[in-house]
Structure 1
Amino acid sequence: MNDGTNKPAIRRKLRDILAGMTDADRHAKSIAACSLLATTPEFAAASTVMLYMSTTLEVDIASLALKCWQSGKTVVVPRVSWDQRRILPVEISSLQTGMTTTGHGIREPDATAGKPIPTDLIDLVVVPGLGFSEQGYRIGRGMGFYDRFLAQPEFVGIPCGLAFSDQVVPEIPVLDHDMPLSMLVTDRGISRFSSNLISSR
């Protein structure tokens, strides 16, 4: 376990990097990253894919959601329980219809949209983050929602980070509760991790 005391400084640096990207660059890199993920055997084999609802500065998953639906896959996204500090996977059929924005600025299905999907049915979870390390760890916004979700014994799928190449850093401090990823896809390539060692395709 590494000392996580410098995580706030890493978050500040990564936020500055994301804020410095142009809209055109962000769009082009989003399309490239999503297209690469859609070429993987992990994506092809997945019947149910959990995506995230993109914020302005994150990789836009709209094209990936469309590929899922075109391939007959079930798409789920998180509905956040802030009181319980957990996310509930909810099936959706549109990125626009039945959506609401929470007080935290996160888009999610409203109370009438979609239906909850059991965690053990999710084959692939596309995980967002502020940054990702070359060893397969991520740094989020400090709330721990995805770490708790991925740590559930019911989750037996593949956790895959999706990021701009600008978000990849050599190392991130790792704490006991930080969950490693199986894959990381950026606009520049695909990396797979085994025993915390990187294996690039």
Structure 2
Amino acid sequence: MPEPESTDSLKRAFRKQLRQSRREQTQKDQLSRKILSRIFNLEQYGQAETVLYYVHARDEVRTLSSLEADLAGPKQIVVPYCVQGELRLVQIKNRNELSPGAYGILEPTNTVQERPDRSIKPEKIDFALIPGLGFDPQGTRIGHGKGYYDKLIPYLRKDCLRCGIAYDCQIIETLPIDKHDQPMDIVVTQTRVIHCRINDQQPRKSNSDKF
């Protein structure tokens, strides 16, 4: 009888599949605008005072133009940067406070990172936009395997809405899950808003519980 496939090997296979699907997605600019428009129309987003954005890189849903628009509004806009494998959060007030960091990805400038008055604790976030390689309708998220957001999310308030953001091609019926994986409340694509965490009293078991 063959051994059950491990969660790690399943995730590697899904990552390869999802990277290709996302890379081959056409009309990324147009679809990204649709996705962000759906998010902006959410009641929870309208009520949020402090929003955690991510600045897109490579084939991710493109957030930069929407981030720039929100910087002109009343919301406090927060973006992450990475220090020794962990995400730290700072408020930015204009586009010029972003510059290319590791791998050419835009992140807050060193000047902004070093300002104590711009540092934002995770519990201050009302609405979090969270990228991923893939999601499933139950709220499971799969990233690149570094665990940056899985380390950050537990520090968000329970009433902070965790919003996964993806193209339709990044939605998988069921993804493997580990104990440390952090679920989404909703996932937004160009065609739908998926409400995920309907019954928190019955959390999903991780695949690692089987082995």
Shorter chain as denominator, the TM-score bin is 0.7 to 0.9
CA contact (8 A) 2:25 2:169 kept: no
Aligned to 2:177: 174
Task: Tell me by how many angstroms 1:70 deviates.
Answer: 4.5
Matching residue's letter, 1:167: Q
Task: Tell me by how many angstroms 1:112 deviates.
Answer: 0.4
Structure 1 or 2: larger strand share? 1
Aligned to 1:109: 108
Structure 2: runs of 5 or more not aligned:
1-5, 203-211
Bigger relative contact order (CA 8 A; separation at least 6): 1
Matching residue's letter, 2:87: I
CA contact (8 A) 2:137 2:195 kept: no
CA contact (8 A) 1:161 1:183 kept: yes
CA contact (8 A) 1:122 1:155 kept: no
Structure 1: runs of 5 or more not aligned:
none
CA contact (8 A) 2:68 2:94 kept: no
- Give aligned pairs, total: 191
Identity of counterpart residues, as a percentage? Answer: 28
The structure-2 alpha-carbon separation of the partners of 1:190 and 1:154, relative to structure 1 and needing over 3 Å to count, comes to: closer
**Residue of 120, 139, 142 corresponding to 2:142:** 139
Aligned to 1:89: 89
Aligned to 1:32: 34
Helix, strand or coil: the match of 2:12? helix
Aligned to 1:192: 195
CA distance in structure 2 between the partners assigned to 1:154 and 1:104 by the alignment = 31
CA distance in structure 2 between the partners assigned to 1:65 and 1:118 by the alignment = 20
CA distance in structure 1 between the partners assigned to 2:156 and 2:190 by the alignment = 31
Helix, strand or coil: the match of 1:135? coil
Matching residue's letter, 1:107: L
The structure-2 alpha-carbon separation of the partners of 1:153 and 1:39, relative to structure 1 and needing over 3 Å to count, comes to: closer
Scaled by the length of structure 1, what TM-score is found? 0.87
Structure 1 or 2: larger helix share? 2
RMSD (Å) for aligned C-alpha atoms:
2.0
- Off by >4 Å, runs of 4+ in structure 1: 153-156
Indicate yes or no: 2:18 matched with 1:19.
Answer: no
Please, which moves more after superposition, 151-160 or 50-59? 151-160
Deviation by residue 1:46-74 (Cα, 9 ceiling, x = unmatched): 00000001012011113432453344101
Helix, strand or coil: the match of 1:14? helix
Larger Rg: 2
CA distance in structure 2 between the partners assigned to 1:8 and 1:116 by the alignment = 34
CA distance in structure 2 between the partners assigned to 1:66 and 1:15 by the alignment = 27
Deviation by residue 1:76-113 (Cα, 9 ceiling, x = unmatched): 000111x2x21111111223x13232334432102102
CA contact (8 A) 2:128 2:162 kept: yes
CA contact (8 A) 1:134 1:171 kept: yes
CA contact (8 A) 1:38 1:64 kept: no
Aligned to 2:206: none
CA distance in structure 2 between the partners assigned to 1:173 and 1:167 by the alignment = 14
